[in-house]
Amino acid sequence: MLTPNSEQELAEAIASTARPLRIQGGGTRPIGHAVDGDTLSTAGLSGITLYEPGALTIVARSGTPLAEIESALASENQRLPFEPMDHRSLLGTEGTPTIGGVVAANVSGSRRIQAGACRDSLIGVRFVDGQGSIIKNGGRVMKNVTGYDLVKLMAGAHGTLGVLSEVSFKVLPATDRTGVLFIDGLSVADATVAMSRALVSPFEVSGAAHAPKGVDGHAVTMIRIEGFDASVSYRSEKLRALLQEFGETLVETDPDRNRARWAWVRDATLLGDHDGDVWRISAKPTDAPAIVARLEGATCLLDWGGGLIWAGVAADQDVRVAIDGIAGHATLIRGSDETKDRFGVLHPEIATLARLAEGLRHQFDPKRVLNPGLMG
pLDDT tens digits, residue range 282-316?
999 999 999 999 999 999 999 999 999 999 999 98
- pLDDT, mean over the chain: 94
Q: Is the pLDDT of residue 178 over 80?
A: yes
Residue 143: pLDDT above 70?
A: no
Lowest mean pLDDT among 127-131, 145-149, 269-273, 350-354: 145-149
Determine the average pLDDT of the residues in 153-180. Answer: 96
Per-residue pLDDT tens over the stretch 342-375? 999 999 989 999 998 999 999 999 999 999 999 8
Question: What is the predicted pLDDT for the residue at 376?
Answer: 77
| pLDDT of residue 149 exceeding 90 | no
Query: For every residue of the chain, which 3-state class applies, written as one string?
Result: CECCCCHHHHHHHHHHCCCCEEEECCCCCCCCCCCCCEEEECCCCCCEEEEEHHHCEEEEECCCEHHHHHHHHHCCCEECCCCCCCCHHHHCCCCCCEHHHHHHCCCCCCCHHHHCCHHHHEEEEEEECCCCCEEEEECCCCCCCCCHHHHHHHCCCCCCCCEEEEEEEECEECCCEEEEEEEECCCHHHHHHHHHHHHCCCCCEEEEEEECCCCCCCCEEEEEEEECHHHHHHHHHHHHHHCHHHCCEEEECCHHHHHHHHHHHHCCHHHCCCCCEEEEEEECHHHHHHHHHHCCCCEEEEEHHHCEEEEEECCCCCHHHHHCCCCEEEEEEECCHHHHHHHCCCCCCCHHHHHHHHHHHHHHCCCCCECCCCCC
According to the model, what pLDDT value does residue 85 have? Answer: 97
Look at residue 187 and tell me whether its pLDDT is greater than 70. yes
Give the pLDDT of residue 139. 59
Rounded to two decimals, the pTM is 0.94
Q: Quote the pLDDT of residue 237.
A: 96
Which comes out higher in pLDDT, residue 152 or 67?
A: 67
Mean pLDDT of the 90-104 span: 97
User: Is pLDDT above 60 for 140?
Assistant: no
Percent of the chain scored above 70 by pLDDT? 97
Whether residue 147 has pLDDT greater than 50: no
Is residue 141's pLDDT more than 50? Answer: no
